[in-house]
Amino acid sequence: MHATYMTEIKTSAERQAQTERLLALMSRLTGDEKHAPSATSTLDALWVLYDRVLRVSPQTVDDPERDLFLLSKGHGPAAFYAVLAAKGFIPLDWLDDVGDAGSRLGFHPDGTLIPGVEIGSGSLGHGLGLGVGMALGLRARGLWRPRVFVLLGDAELDEGSNHEAIAYAGATGLDSLTAVVIDNQSATHGWPGGIASRFAMNGWDTSTVDGRAWDALEHAFTTPHPGAPRVVVATVERKW
């Protein structure tokens, strides 16, 4: 009992310190001293993916066996850039001139300019279709180990292109694909019945977790889902 308690304290303290480090990196590129929850809605999911889940490192960004992470929701990529910098994919000083003419980091990421970034995004609704194609491409090449993770926002699901991809991936049981939907309840007309239900009715394996809980996120990202794609709905504070 006592030992468990100590571990939790230690884990919590480490987590707090790591979060502070990431927020400090975000501040370098936004100039803000404090970040509203909406600006960090993706931060915990991104950190858990890069720290605990994705089989990719700065040394393996061109390895055909690497896992692929696609940031479909390209808006507000500060948290993404902070995680990439913390993990050594990009130099820390790239965070200091984001959006400038000479910078490789813009207000929406360009995959051809940033090591380790698989796609350029910003226009909503492109990542999941690309992710389906990548999962199919890996399979056609006989590469069974890599997995494809696509991060979306709940408002991004308004785009009909996502629903083309959801229906097809579910119908064909594309089990190398995991969608991560950050739900900060920002979709204008909402998703009555819950986001996971949209995926479930198309045959996806689903999990809805606290988007701030690292262990729960890790468990959701790593639970096997043979024969079906998986969606992890990561719920965070409401945007407004």
Partner 1 sequence: MREELVNTATALLDEDPRVAVVLADISSDLFDGAARRHPDRVINVGIREQLLLGVTGGLAKTGLRPIAHTYAPFLVERAFEQIKLDLDHQGGGAVLVSVGASYDAARSGRTHQAPGDVALIDTLSDWTVHVPGHPDEVGPLLREAVGRDGSSYLRLSTESNAAPHDGYGLVPIRHGRAATVVAVGPMLDPVLAAAEGLDVTVAYTHTPRPFDRAGLRALVSGTDAATVVLVEPYLAGTSASQVADALVAVPHRLLSLGVGRTDPRRYGTPADHARLHGLTPDQLRRAIGELLPA
Binding site residues, partner 1, CB under 8 A: 64, 110-112, 118-120, 123, 125-126, 128-141, 143, 160-161, 164-165, 167-168
Total residues belonging to the chain: 240
Q: Shortest Cβ distance from residue 127 to partner 1 (Å)? A: 9
CB 182 within 8 A of CB 239: no
Q: Rank residues 20 and 65 by Cβ distance to partner 1 and give the closer one.
A: 65
Q: In angstroms, what is the minimal distance from the CB of 34 to partner 1?
A: 34
- Please state, in angstroms and rounded to a whole number, the distance separating the CA atoms of residues 102 and 106: 10
Nearer to partner 1, 133 or 190 (CB): 133
23: tokens are: 């927020």
Which lies closer to partner 1 via its Cβ, residue 52 or residue 141?
141
Whole-angstrom Cα distance, residue 240 to residue 237?
Answer: 9
Question: Which of 64/88 has CB closer to partner 1?
Answer: 64
CB of 135 to partner 1, least distance (A): 7
**Residue 194 structure tokens:** 């819950």
Q: Which two tokens stand for residue 77?
A: 């990529």
Least gap, CB of 113 to partner 1 (angstroms): 10
What are the φ/ψ torsions at residue 31 (nearest 5 degrees)? 80, -5
